[in-house]
Amino acid sequence: MTAVHYPPAWLRPVGNVGGAMATPILGLIPHVQVGTGSLFSWFNNPASKVSAHLWLSRTGAIEQYVPFDRRAWAEAAGNPYWISCECEGYDTEDYTPIQIVRLAELFRWGMHEFGWEPRITDSPARGGLGTHRMGGALWGGHSCPGDIRANRRRDILARAVSAPPPTDRCERFVGRPTLRSNAVGSNVTDLQQALNIVFAGAGAGVGHLDPDGRYGPRTTAQVAALQRYVSPWFGRIDDDGVCGPATWQKLGHVLTGLETAA
């Protein structure tokens, strides 16, 4: 199964999602936001009828709104074939330096995960690093992202093929023991602290846990909440409240995304 979540991204699922993506996914379309601030609320508003898979802030934080196995509503006829990333800022200004680094990391990751060709493309029929405007009328007839940002693709691609892959701390909990109700000890404390970080951002779950190293009913309920939260992104897992290897790994993914977003 190909990845549905970009590990450095903070998961913020929205309601504006379409059907299944086509195979293969051809490449990346960096859009220009023509504005500032997270697009979570706008893309979660049914009236807007728009969304993107990802959003990249001027400071390099990344939010993911739509899993990569579902269509975002970003490029009309192109939606089934392309990953979309809204980039904060305006078409009259360049990317920030960290945005170029982040787009290069994302494209490099897509080369690995989806087999993207390391090339610039100006045709919807040819995969690679494209633009919204290349789709013409069938993609909504937009000028996005403007000349300044479209011309930056050469730098993004050069960095993508030469730079080392992004640091991946998703595996931080590999090897932890399976924990369940009535477990005690420092692994439980680590789990509780990690859950507190996750659910402080997500605004869901059972609320703050006392990191006392005791796996009681509230910890069990919070692990189950985590399992439900990550299932659309990492493949479904039972919300049994038991923290086994798969749950530990997904917790590492979510934490990595939160750190990148901070």
Closest distance to Zn ion from the beta carbon of 122 (Å)? 15
61 or 72, CB closer to Zn ion? 72
142 or 176, CB closer to Zn ion? 142
Q: What proportions of the chain, in percent to the nearest 5, are helix, strand and coil? A: 40, 10, 50
150 or 198, CB closer to Zn ion? 150
Sequence-ordered list of residues with C-beta below 8 angstroms from that of 167, at least 6 positions apart, any chain: none
Closest distance to Zn ion from the beta carbon of 125 (Å)? 19
Count of positions on this chain that bind Zn ion (CB under 5 A): 3
Q: Which of 46, 27, 41, 149 is nearest to 88 (CA)?
A: 149
DSSP state letter for 222: H
Q: Is 102 in the site for Zn ion (CB under 5 A)?
A: no
144 or 226, CB closer to Zn ion? 144
132 or 176, CB closer to Zn ion? 132
Q: Which of positions 13-72 make contact with Zn ion (CB under 5 A)?
A: 31
User: Position of tokens 């633009």?
Assistant: 131
Q: Which of positions 217-236 make contact with Zn ion (CB under 5 A)?
A: none
Beta strands in the chain (DSSP E): 10-11, 27-32, 54-56, 62-64, 82-87, 128-129
State the first-to-last Cα distance of the chain, in angstroms, to the nearest integer: 29
142 or 250, CB closer to Zn ion? 142
Closest distance to Zn ion from the beta carbon of 144 (Å)? 3
Closest distance to Zn ion from the beta carbon of 44 (Å)? 19
Residue 245 CA to residue 249 CA, distance in Å, equals 6
Peptide bond into 24 cis (omega under 30): yes
User: Position of tokens 């997270």?
Assistant: 38
Is residue 144 within 8 Å of 102, Cβ to Cβ? no
Closest distance to Zn ion from the beta carbon of 238 (Å)? 39
132 or 152, CB closer to Zn ion? 132
Question: Closest-CB residue for Zn ion?
Answer: 144
Helix axis angle for 245-261 and 186-202, nearest 10°, is 50
Is residue 261 within 8 Å of 61, Cβ to Cβ? yes
Closest distance to Zn ion from the beta carbon of 132 (Å)? 3
Contact letters for Zn ion, residues 123-152 (x by CB under 5 A): ---------x-----------x--------
DSSP state letter for 82: E
Closest distance to Zn ion from the beta carbon of 135 (Å)? 9
Residues that bind Zn ion in the complex, under the rule CB under 5 A: 31, 132, 144
